[in-house]
A and B are shown apart, each in its own frame.
Chain A
């Protein structure tokens, strides 16, 4: 598995505030990668470092084998849609496309115009008059019309209503199906990530808490309920991620290569949202202080 983005011990400090510290993460090529974590985990900082808008204060980051922002050739291969999908309110859609064409050597004019047409947008319309969903689609068009190898999106759908969100994700998936680009997408909406991503990175407090292909994550995590028992009494090969006990009952979130069934317990699959929440809760509780990822699965 080759990495399109590789960060080692990456850190970013603003004055006294440490936005990201000692972050080591790898993004496999050709995947749609979901980046999830609580506010302040350093997701936006990581993404801005990846596209060269920020420079690290410690550690290293490489994108397509180079330092982000180090050459125009590299910048042409990386597309970025910042948080809240910003556009220039006073400029028309046509102006945006002209700007894109001037600034990007690899600009695909036909593709951009076709997309605007397919979306039913009027080129003479000012971006400031567009709805949130339309503005997001315009920002996506600008980022994908340069035909990037790596497309980075920072919470692109957070402010959109469900219909606009679905429309945006449809456009994004159509682009991925056409171009096969690698995408890194941060979002709090795990159900969206489950649809559109095939790889997931859970980042909490600058640390990768869980990483892997989503199918593997889903196939290896279970909720186990039984009469009260200790975590140690579970069979080998079951790693306990979280344990809750009442006087009589125990509930565990376990990671196990296969589903191990036993008459003394019930085992249910864990959905992705609960899986993410479990790792986030455990990390917040500070029970995992080691630097190695708590979980690593690979295809």
Chain B
């Protein structure tokens, strides 16, 4: 089958992020940017494994996770197809959130936090909140 390849994966060593999650992130990102849309076929597991030189189980695991998230669905013998979208609804919500975040940043600077302190505060809060939501 000679179809157009819609996206190409890459895996960054030394990132501390497991390779399967890197693939998941890349698909999500491609969906957000509109590089992937409903009906597109993801490259086959064998193609990704051979091209990126990564374990086929890693690719399978990434595709399975994307399936659980409702973003893709496999058609046996044909391939894995994009069935979901990301981002459309969120874009309109971005602006008010951005405003609030800017106000918060101004307050943080106002009490004397420098850039790194702000970043550290944001990251630790973001992480612990994410943990609690799980």
Contact = CB atoms under 8 A, between A and B. Distances in A.
Interface of A: 31-32, 166, 169-174, 176-178, 191, 194-198, 214-215, 218-219, 258-261, 263, 266, 268-271, 273
A215 B20 contact: yes
B61 interface: yes
Contacts, number: 73
The 8 closest A-B pairs by CB, nearest first: A191-B13, A174-B50, A269-B16, A177-B46, A177-B56, A169-B53, A173-B49, A271-B16
B78 to A, nearest CB: 17
Interface stretch (B90-98, B107-115, B123-131): B123-131
Given A178-B46, A261-B128, A194 B53 contact: no
Contacts of B117: none
Nearest to B127: A261
Interface string B53-66: 11111100100000
B18 interface: yes
B17 interface: yes
Given A215-B61, A261-B131, A271-B14, A174 B20 contact: no
A261 B127 CA distance: 7
Residue from A218, A260, A261 having most chain B Cβ neighbours under 10 A: A261
Contacts of A273: 14
Given A174-B49, A259-B127, A197 B55 contact: yes
A59 B86 CA distance: 56
A194 B56 CA distance: 13
A261 B124 contact: yes
Most buried by B among A171, A195, A260: A195
B54 to A, nearest CB: 5
A101 B120 CA distance: 62
A176 to B, nearest CB: 6
19 contacts: A31-B57, A170-B53, A171-B50, A172-B53, A173-B56, A174-B49, A174-B50, A177-B45, A195-B13, A195-B52, A195-B54, A196-B54, A196-B55, A214-B18, A215-B61, A218-B17, A258-B131, A263-B124, A271-B14
Contacts of B45: 177
Contacts of A194: 13, 19
B14 A191 contact: yes
B102 interface: no
Interface residues of B, dominant DSSP: helix
Contacts of A31: 57
Contacts of B20: 215
Nearest to A265: B124
B127 to A, nearest CB: 5
Contacts of B18: 214-215, 218-219
Interface string B24-63: 0000000000000000000001100111111111100100
Contact of A218 (B16, B57, B124, B127): B16
B86 to A, nearest CB: 23
Contacts of B124: 261, 263, 266
Nearest to B13: A191
Given A195-B55, A214-B18, A268-B16, 6 more contacts: A177-B49, A195-B54, A218-B16, A258-B131, A259-B127, A263-B124
B16 to A, nearest CB: 4
A172 to B, nearest CB: 8
A178 B46 CA distance: 7
A173 B16 contact: no
